[in-house]
Structure 1
Amino acid sequence: MTAARTGLLAGKQVRRLGLGTMRLTGPGIWGPPASEADAVQLLRKAVELGVQHIDTADAYGPNVAEELIRKALFPYADDLIIATKGGFTRQGPGKWTPCGVPAYLRQCVEMSLRQLNVEAIDLYYLHRVDPNVPLADQVGELEKMRQEGKIKCLGLSKVDILQLTQAITIAPIVAVQNQFSILDYQSEDVIRWCEQNEIAFIPYAPLSAGRYFSSGEVRNQSASAAHALKWLLNYSTVMFPIPGTSRVEHLEENLRSDIEG
């Protein structure tokens, strides 16, 4: 059976297969890409090919991916969802430290509004729960900004069911972004919870951060990527994969995953 190509995300019916932008930055998710022109071309090509959900974060670069999205796609199409995240500090390539201090989260949102040049962010995630700050304070501050009109919809990233059940008593959560793939089932219980609560699940590293291609099961990389993405789309109707790439040919291959039988 072929999975539905579209689903409800952040209040819009969109194509379930989206695009992640982490790989549009420099090595270690730090600094600009080797070619800004190529990154801009890829983003425009993605929208041309029907992508309606682009996932990013202020920590990608930092600030590089959001700026590339603005340069490539502003003014944005009405049917395009741009999801971003905040709650990390960056100290260098490959270095990430969660920071959920409410004042810092507010600063993150304000910066993303400017970087993306929007009045309200379509979908905003707490990028990582800071273990040193009460979850209620972190989600509560984001909910304040949602009520202020700076954020349209809220999501959480890398969370468990206990954290989710607490968060939904504080704010309406419409999306969860956890690691999940054909090689990584660790969030299976969270997906079932999302299904029961009609919440979108966005699997980060949907191609297992490249591990799938070296797993011994793969003979053709483009075919295997399509297989892994089709598997995700068929796994659950609340699944919205966001495969990332810096190459247009890989983008085109990935986006055939929900078309070809």
Structure 2
Amino acid sequence: MGSIDRSGTFPLGRRQVKRMGYGAMQLAGPGVFGPPRDHDTALAVLREAVAQGVDHIDTSDFYGPHITNRLIREALAPYPDDLVIVTKIGARRDDKGAWLPAFAPDELKQAVHDNLRNLGLDVLDVVNLRLMFSAHGPAEGPIEASLTVLAELQQQGLIRHLGLSNATAAQVAQAQRIAPIVCVQNEYNLARRADDPLIDALAKDGIAYVPFFPLGGFTPLQSTILSDVAARLGVTPMQTALAWLLRRSPNILLIPGTSSLAHLRENLAAAELDLPDEALAALEGVGRSGTG
């Protein structure tokens, strides 16, 4: 199976990456906790993603915890020269799998070293600071102390580039005064479009926007409009939703996650889907209604 054109590239730090990447979160066990259901399949998915031309993988050491990073290392090390691995810190898991904030300087430093060790790297390409001021999406809160710790680690040569996850526009602006930000990773998809103004502002500054839950996450997108458009195009609703994101703005980088080889190939094929204008016009109705 040949390499797929990923609908162009966009800068992510020092590299130009293909806009269709891969998110490793679903390689961990149920609830993103514990080992994968099938270890060998998890390795096969990672290897197939890279074989298909993916050069941008999103992960975190709190997936598992430690599980996805170790799988990435086992499957892909020594890494291809063009592979960008993006991780995130700022959270931890308790022994029951709950997601807890981990913003203290020592926690952030430990997280960076854990990522380096488990990925088998000397320097992390991109580290996103995951903000957890609310259980319901981005919320205002202080970031200067935490981001300053990461900027110091960057100056020490342990991190090449910094990003933010689950951030407000005000926090992005504040972060830019502390250190350059190369990407913002927030929840965004066809039905959840609160970040429309932020995406456009970041595009003007050449900053990548990476939607998490691009297909709805734990509650997959359900929309009559989306299903109807997909049926007319002869593709799946999820492929249509991914193709819409690629058309939404040139600075959007996608990281759809899956633990299935079939779903991986289906997701990657969405990069070749050309949405006609009438399909785009119809899909705008999903965002206006929230569900379609």
Match of residue 245 from structure 1 = 258
Q: Is the 8 A contact 2:45 2:261 kept in 1?
A: yes
The unaligned stretches of length 5 or more in structure 2 are 135-139, 275-292
CA distance in 2, matches of 1:170, 1:8: 20
CA distance in 2, matches of 1:98, 1:140: 17
* Aligned counterpart in structure 2 of residue 95 of structure 1, from 89, 98, 103: 98
Q: Which amino acid aligns with 2:77?
A: F
Match of residue 84 from structure 2 = 81
Q: Does 1:164 align with 2:164?
A: no
Match of residue 118 from structure 1 = 121
Secondary structure (helix, strand or coil) at the match of 1:208 reads coil
Secondary structure (helix, strand or coil) at the match of 2:78 reads coil
Q: Does 1:224 align with 2:224?
A: no
CA distance in 2, matches of 1:93, 1:19: 27
Match of residue 28 from structure 2 = 25
Secondary structure (helix, strand or coil) at the match of 1:218 reads helix
CA radius of gyration, larger in: 2
Q: Is the 8 A contact 1:55 1:84 kept in 2?
A: yes
Secondary structure (helix, strand or coil) at the match of 1:255 reads helix
- Kindly, what percent of the aligned residue pairs are identical? 38
Q: Does 1:153 align with 2:161?
A: yes
Instruction: Determine which structure has the larger strand proportion and give its number.
Output: 1
For 1:64-85, what per-residue CA distance to the aligned partner results, in whole angstroms no more than 9, with x for missing partners?
A: 0000000000011111100011
Q: Is the 8 A contact 1:212 1:218 kept in 2?
A: no
Q: Is the 8 A contact 2:42 2:71 kept in 1?
A: yes
Q: Does 1:205 align with 2:213?
A: yes
Following TM superposition, by how much is the alpha carbon of 1:35 offset from its aligned partner in structure 2, in angstroms?
A: 1.0
Alpha carbons of structure 1 residues 144 and 129: separation in structure 2 relative to 1, 3 Å: farther
Match of residue 148 from structure 2 = 140
Following TM superposition, by how much is the alpha carbon of 1:46 offset from its aligned partner in structure 2, in angstroms?
A: 0.4
Q: Is the 8 A contact 2:191 2:221 kept in 1?
A: no
CA distance in 2, matches of 1:134, 1:223: 41
CA distance in 1, matches of 2:39, 2:7: 34
Match of residue 130 from structure 2 = 127
Q: Does 1:71 align with 2:79?
A: no
Secondary structure (helix, strand or coil) at the match of 1:154 reads strand
CA distance in 1, matches of 2:37, 2:14: 35
Following TM superposition, by how much is the alpha carbon of 1:153 offset from its aligned partner in structure 2, in angstroms?
A: 0.6
Alpha carbons of structure 1 residues 94 and 232: separation in structure 2 relative to 1, 3 Å: farther
User: TM-score by structure 1 length?
Assistant: 0.94
Q: Is the 8 A contact 1:3 1:234 kept in 2?
A: no
CA distance in 1, matches of 2:6, 2:69: 30
CA distance in 2, matches of 1:200, 1:14: 10
Following TM superposition, by how much is the alpha carbon of 1:128 offset from its aligned partner in structure 2, in angstroms?
A: 2.0
Following TM superposition, by how much is the alpha carbon of 1:214 offset from its aligned partner in structure 2, in angstroms?
A: 3.2
CA distance in 2, matches of 1:186, 1:167: 20
For 1:91-115, what per-residue CA distance to the aligned partner results, in whole angstroms no more than 9, with x for missing partners?
A: 2455111121111100000110000
Match of residue 280 from structure 2 = none
Alpha carbons of structure 1 residues 37 and 256: separation in structure 2 relative to 1, 3 Å: same
Q: Is the 8 A contact 2:7 2:272 kept in 1?
A: no
CA distance in 2, matches of 1:34, 1:92: 19
Alpha carbons of structure 1 residues 95 and 140: separation in structure 2 relative to 1, 3 Å: same
Alpha carbons of structure 1 residues 28 and 84: separation in structure 2 relative to 1, 3 Å: same
Match of residue 234 from structure 1 = 247
Q: Is the 8 A contact 2:6 2:272 kept in 1?
A: no
Following TM superposition, by how much is the alpha carbon of 1:7 offset from its aligned partner in structure 2, in angstroms?
A: 1.4
* Aligned counterpart in structure 1 of residue 198 of structure 2, from 165, 190, 193: 190
